[in-house]
Chain A
C-alpha cells in the first residue's frame, strides 16, 4: 500500500448491522420482562421530553441522547444487584432509571434547579449517591470512571463483599489513557469490574475506523488477559444475559469482563449536532434495529402483552413524565449565593443532599 498525502477513504462497511438474531428469553419471568419494557419505554419517553425541553431552551448545557442504545443501559443495569456499584456515563439514563432515580429527579437536574441532585452545580448525569443507589456519577473527562470503578471493585473485595462494579465507555473513550490504566489495573488485580464498551459507531464525528484499528472491542480482551464478549446492543435480553455472565464471573473472583455492546448512535453527538457526516444509508440501515420496537415485537410474539397494552403503558408513562416535567419547570432555581459552600466538608455538605 503506497502512502500519500491524499485523504484516505474510510471503509465504513464494519459499521453496518449484520442480520439480527431473534431475541431469546434467558429465563426471566413475565414480571421481569414487563419491568424491562417499562424501563426501556420510560427511557425513550424521558429523553423525548428532554429533547423537547432542549429545543424550547429550558435545558442548561447539553443533552446527549441514547436513542437506539437504550437496551444497553437497561439490560446491563437490570442484570446487577441493587448494591452493585454502578457508574453511568451521560448516555445511560436508562441505567439510573433502573436504579430508581425518577424522571422528576432527572428533570430537576437537567433544568439546573435548586432541589435537583447537584443543586444546579452540574448537568446531565454528573451526580450520584452511593448509600442509596450505589451510584457514582461521572465527570466529563472520558475514561476517568474506569480507574474509579476499579477502585470501587477493590473496596468491595477488601471488605469481603461479592459486589461487582460496572461502568460504561464509548468506542471513542477507549482511546484515552485512563481506559487503559484503569482496565489494566483491574485485570492485573483481578477485580470484579464489568466494563461495558458501548460501540455505537461514532465518537462525535469520528467513525470507528478512525478511532481504532480493530473491528470489535472484544479483541481487546486477550490483550488485557481478561474475558471479553461482544453482543448485539439492540437486544436487551442478550445484553442482560451477557451482563449476568460477567457479574457471575466477577463474583466468583475470576476478574473483570470487557463487554462490547454494538448499536448505533441514532442522533447526533448532542442535540445541536445534525450528524451530516454520517452516510444517510447507514442511519437507515439501523432504523429497523430499534431496541424498543424489537423488544415489543418479542413481547407480543411471546404472548406477554398485546399491542394495545403497550400503547396503554406508553400513554401512562407519558402522562407521568409530562407531569414531572411540569413540576420541574415550576421548581425554583438556586439562589446566586448558593454557588458557594460545599467545596470542602462543612455542615450541610457532609454527605449527599439527594435524594432528600
Chain B
C-alpha cells in the first residue's frame, strides 16, 4: 500500500482505496515521527531539534489527498508544508529513508545536510521547503499560484501553517495578495491551539483562525481537525474553488498539539486535563474505528498494517544510519548557480 499518485478523490469523495491510503499514511506518519522523537532523538542519533505533528495527522492527510500528483510539472500542484506536516512529504513521494537522512544530517537527505528537521524541499516532488521565519512562505505560495494564473492552468498551491503564524505580517501580506488577485491557493491552518507556550487566546482576539478570513474577503471554514474526512471535505471545496479560478480559501482544522513545541519541550504549561481530553479524540484511532465499522478493515488487518509499517521504518532507519555524511568542503557548494549541488535529488 502506498500513498495515492493522483488526487481523484476531490472530485467525487474518497473511495475505498483512498480511505485505506489515508489510514496508511496517517499511521506511517505517526509511527515515523514516534521513531524519530521517542527513540532516535533519545538515542542521540538526531542532529539538532525535532518537531512532530502528533495528533494533527488528519490535517496533513485530509488536505494532502487533494494534491494533484501526475508527474507532469505543467499539471501538478505545488505544496508548502509546515514542520508539522510530515505526511505531506510522504504523500509527495519523499520516502521515510530520505526524511530520516535529513534528520540525521546525512548527504542523502533532501538538503544534503545543509538544513535540518522539517526544513526540506524538493521541486521534483513539488514540495517547497519552509524556513523558520514563520509566515514567510505565504507570499511565496501566492507567487507560485500567480504563475498558474499566468499560464492559464488549473493548478493549485497548498500552503500549510499554524495558528501562531497567522499573527505574522508576511502571512497577512501573502493572504491579502492572494485574495485581491484571486489566486489559486488553499490556505490550510493547523490550529493546534498553542504556539510554543502561547495559547490561542494570547495569539489573537478571535475565537477561530477562520474568523480572520472575512477581513480578506475570502471564505473561511473551520472544521474538526481530528476528523480526517471533515478536513478532506472542506479542503475539497476549497480546491474546487481554486481550480475554477474563484480564488483562495482559508481552511482551519481545529486540533491539539499532543507534544511539546519540540522534543525538548515538556509543555508543562498545557493543562493535563486538556491533553487528556484530546487523547480521547485521537484522529487515527477514530478513523480506524470508522473504517472498522464500515467493514473496510478488521482488527487483524490493522495489526498487520502496524507491523508492516514498523518494518518499513526499520528498513528506512537502517538505511539512513548507514548513509554517508556530507564531505566538509561541501559546505561551500550551492550558494550560487553553477557552484555545485544544483541538480539535487
- In the complex they form, whether A and B have CB atoms below 8 Å apart is answered with yes
Q: Is the CB of A188 within 8 A of B203?
A: yes
Q: How far is the CA of A187 from the CA of B202 in the complex (A)?
A: 10
Q: Is the CB of B179 within 8 A of A213?
A: yes
Within 8 A of A (CB), among B211-237: 211-218
Q: How far is the CA of A180 from the CA of B169 in the complex (A)?
A: 6
Q: How far is the CA of A209 from the CA of B180 in the complex (A)?
A: 7
Our pick among A210, A220, A223 for the contact of B180 (Cβ within 8 Å) is: A210
Q: How far is the CA of A209 from the CA of B181 in the complex (A)?
A: 9
A interface footprint on B142-185 (CB within 8 Å = 1, 0 otherwise): 00000001101000000000000001111111001101101000
Most buried by A among B180, B205, B207: B205
Q: Is the CB of A187 within 8 A of B176?
A: no
Indicate whether A188 sits within 8 Å of B205 (C-beta atoms), given known contacts A175-B176, A176-B173, A213-B182: yes
Stretch at the interface among B40-48, B243-251, B306-314: B243-251
Q: Is the CB of B245 within 8 A of A3?
A: yes
Chain A nearest CB, measured from B23 CB (Å): 36
Q: How far is the CA of A342 from the CA of B168 in the complex (A)?
A: 33
Residues of chain B contacted by A225 (CB below 8 angstroms)? 204-207, 211
Q: Is the CB of A1 within 8 A of B217?
A: no
Indicate whether A5 sits within 8 Å of B152 (C-beta atoms), given known contacts A175-B173, A188-B204: yes
Residues of chain B contacted by A83 (CB below 8 angstroms)? none
State the majority secondary structure of interface residues on B: helix
Q: Is the CB of B179 within 8 A of A187?
A: no
Our pick among B171, B173, B179, B205 for the contact of A224 (Cβ within 8 Å) is: B205
Q: Is the CB of B216 within 8 A of A223?
A: yes
Q: Is the CB of B211 within 8 A of A222?
A: yes
Indicate whether A177 sits within 8 Å of B245 (C-beta atoms), given known contacts A188-B202, A210-B180, A213-B179: no
Q: How far is the CA of A157 from the CA of B143 in the complex (A)?
A: 41
A12 part of interface (Cβ distance < 8 Å): no
Chain A nearest CB, measured from B134 CB (Å): 12
Chain B nearest CB, measured from A187 CB (Å): 4
Residues of chain B contacted by A224 (CB below 8 angstroms)? 204-206, 212, 215
Q: How far is the CA of A185 from the CA of B244 in the complex (A)?
A: 36
Q: How far is the CA of A220 from the CA of B172 in the complex (A)?
A: 12
Q: Is the CB of B150 within 8 A of A5?
A: yes
Q: How far is the CA of A184 from the CA of B176 in the complex (A)?
A: 15
A219 part of interface (Cβ distance < 8 Å): yes
**CB nearest to A174 among chain B residues:** B176
Indicate whether A213 sits within 8 Å of B152 (C-beta atoms), given known contacts A219-B214, A223-B212, A223-B216: no
Within 8 A of B (CB), among A283-339: none
Tell me the total A-B contact number using a CB cutoff of 8 A: 96
Residues of chain A contacted by B211 (CB below 8 angstroms)? 222-223, 225
Q: How far is the CA of A225 from the CA of B203 in the complex (A)?
A: 12
Chain B nearest CB, measured from A225 CB (Å): 3
Q: How far is the CA of A347 from the CA of B167 in the complex (A)?
A: 41
Within 8 A of B (CB), among A175-220: 175-181, 184-185, 187-188, 190, 209-215, 219-220
Chain B nearest CB, measured from A80 CB (Å): 23
Q: Is the CB of B245 within 8 A of A212?
A: no
Size bracket of the B interface: 20 to 34
Chain A nearest CB, measured from B226 CB (Å): 25
Q: How far is the CA of A185 from the CA of B202 in the complex (A)?
A: 9
Within 8 A of B (CB), among A90-128: none
Q: How far is the CA of A133 from the CA of B216 in the complex (A)?
A: 36
Chain B nearest CB, measured from A76 CB (Å): 22
Q: How far is the CA of A178 from the CA of B203 in the complex (A)?
A: 16
Q: Is the CB of B216 within 8 A of A187?
A: no
Residues of chain A contacted by B173 (CB below 8 angstroms)? 175-177, 180
B interface footprint on A114-157 (CB within 8 Å = 1, 0 otherwise): 00000000000000000000000000000000000000000000
A2 part of interface (Cβ distance < 8 Å): yes
**CB nearest to A6 among chain B residues:** B152
A226 part of interface (Cβ distance < 8 Å): yes
Q: Is the CB of A223 within 8 A of B213?
A: yes
Q: How far is the CA of A179 from the CA of B176 in the complex (A)?
A: 12
**CB nearest to A180 among chain B residues:** B172
Q: How far is the CA of A290 from the CA of B328 in the complex (A)?
A: 70
A4 part of interface (Cβ distance < 8 Å): yes
Q: How far is the CA of A355 from the CA of B170 in the complex (A)?
A: 39
Residues of chain A contacted by B246 (CB below 8 angstroms)? 1
A255 part of interface (Cβ distance < 8 Å): yes
Chain A nearest CB, measured from B182 CB (Å): 7
Q: Is the CB of A187 within 8 A of B204?
A: yes
Residues of chain B contacted by A179 (CB below 8 angstroms)? 169, 172
Indicate whether A177 sits within 8 Å of B172 (C-beta atoms), given known contacts A1-B246, A3-B245: yes
Within 8 A of B (CB), among A1-56: 1-5
A interface footprint on B277-289 (CB within 8 Å = 1, 0 otherwise): 0000000000000
Q: Is the CB of B167 within 8 A of A213?
A: no
Q: How far is the CA of A255 from the CA of B247 in the complex (A)?
A: 33
Q: Is the CB of B216 within 8 A of A214?
A: yes
Residues of chain B contacted by A3 (CB below 8 angstroms)? 149, 152, 182, 245
The 10 nearest A-B residue pairs measured at CB: A177-B169, A223-B215, A225-B205, A213-B217, A180-B172, A3-B245, A187-B205, A220-B215, A214-B217, A225-B206
- In addition to A211-B180, A212-B179, 17 A-B residue pairs with Cβ atoms within 8 Å of each other are A1-B245, A175-B173, A176-B169, A176-B173, A177-B168, A180-B171, A181-B167, A181-B172, A190-B205, A209-B180, A213-B218, A214-B216, A214-B217, A222-B214, A223-B211, A223-B213, A255-B205
Give chain B's interface residues, CB within 8 Å of chain A.
149-150, 152, 167-173, 176-177, 179-180, 182, 201-207, 211-218, 244-247
22 A-B pairs (CB sep. < 8 Å): A3-B182, A5-B149, A5-B150, A5-B152, A178-B169, A179-B172, A181-B168, A181-B169, A184-B167, A187-B205, A188-B201, A213-B216, A213-B218, A213-B247, A214-B215, A219-B217, A220-B215, A222-B206, A222-B215, A223-B212, A223-B214, A223-B216
